[in-house]
Structures are given as structure tokens and as C-alpha cells.
Amino acid sequence: MSRLLLIPVAYLLVLLVSSCGYRVLAETDSLDFRNLHVAPVENRTREPGLEDLLHRALVEELALDRRVRVVAREQAEVLLEAAVIRFNLDPTVEKNDIAVQYEVKLDADFRLVSKESGRVLREISRLGSPILISFSVDRSALGTRASQEAAEIEAARALARELTNRVLLR
């Protein structure tokens, strides 16, 4: 009797699971390429060094993901081009009319370009970090600058993670 009941229950379970709208993506479901090169990042802001921070963050984040290989330009199927288009330091906390905490805002434009055809495969404009990154002013100018640089690095990493999720998970 229990075997007869088990078959319809198993069938019903399979039917429910297959129609729920969720599915597990295979490694190749969302990617049309395997080898990607991160081109040098363009910095359209007045803040020096952001192009290097974002380039490093993109290479590291994409390498961690492992669904694509970050390779030299000669081996790439796709080129990732990026430009930092906005950098803001906005005061978030003041004491006695002096800013003691700032928020770092970093936005960039991205393009995935087929190396072979030059065709733009995907374009993402004005992508910003999805999390708020802030730093506190230190008693010394050197300490404040170090805190700002650490916040800039974290903003670049958050932006790289967001881009990786959008490109690889489409």
C-alpha cells in the first residue's frame, strides 16, 4: 500500500519543483565567452589613482568568480572596458561645523566588447557601488588620507563585485 502511495507523491513533488520558477544555472547558462581581458581603466575624474584601484579590483573579483578566465589581451574573446565617471566625497557627519565623516561615491561605465568583431556585447552605464562606504577624519592629515584611500579601495571592490554579478549572472 505504501509503495502505491509513494509513486503519486513522488510524481507530484517532481511536478511542483519543476514548475516553481526556480532553476539552477549551469556554469555556461549565462556566458557566451570564457576568456576575458580587463583593459586599462580610463579615469574621467580629477581624483588620481582611481583607474588603478578599479582595474585591480575588477581583475581580482573576476578571477575569484572562476566562471571566466582573466587573460592577456591576445588570448581574450571579450574585452572589458571601463571608465570612472564620477567620484564624490560627501560629508555625512559634522561637529562644530567641521566635517568629520565622509561618504565615498564612485560611478563607472562598462562595456563588454567582442575582440574579434569589435561589437559591443553589453553596456552598463553609471553603475555605482551598491553599498555606502564612509571614512572618518583622523587627527592627522596623513591618517585622514589613509582612511580615504582605504574607503576608495573598498568602493572599487564593491563596484567590481556589482559588475561581476551583473555581467556573469545576467
Tell me which residue range forms the domain holding 105: 2-169
Q: Which of 24-28, 121-125, 164-168 has the lowest mean pLDDT?
A: 24-28
- For position 152, which CATH number holds? 3.30.160.150
Contact assessment for residue 108 and residue 67, using Cβ atoms and an 8 Å cutoff: no
CB atoms within 10 A of CB 170: 11
Number of domains in the chain: 1
Contact assessment for residue 105 and residue 92, using Cβ atoms and an 8 Å cutoff: no
Does 26 score more than 60 pLDDT? no
For residues 46-50, give the mean pLDDT: 96
Express as a percent the part of the chain with pLDDT over 70: 81
Does 59 score more than 70 pLDDT? yes
**pLDDT at position 5, please?**
52
Does 1 score more than 60 pLDDT? no
- Quote the strand ranges of 50-97, DSSP E: 69-70, 78-95
pLDDT tens-digit series, residues 98-152: 999 999 999 999 999 999 999 999 999 999 988 899 999 988 999 999 999 999 9
Does 12 score more than 50 pLDDT? no
- Cell numbers for 146: 589613509
| C-alpha closest to that of 165 among 36, 56, 30 | 30
**pLDDT at position 67, please?**
85
Contact assessment for residue 113 and residue 105, using Cβ atoms and an 8 Å cutoff: no
**pLDDT at position 4, please?**
53
**pLDDT at position 16, please?**
43
What average pLDDT does the structure give for the chain?
85
pTM comes to: 0.79
Does 18 score more than 60 pLDDT? no
**pLDDT at position 55, please?**
98
Does 14 score more than 60 pLDDT? no
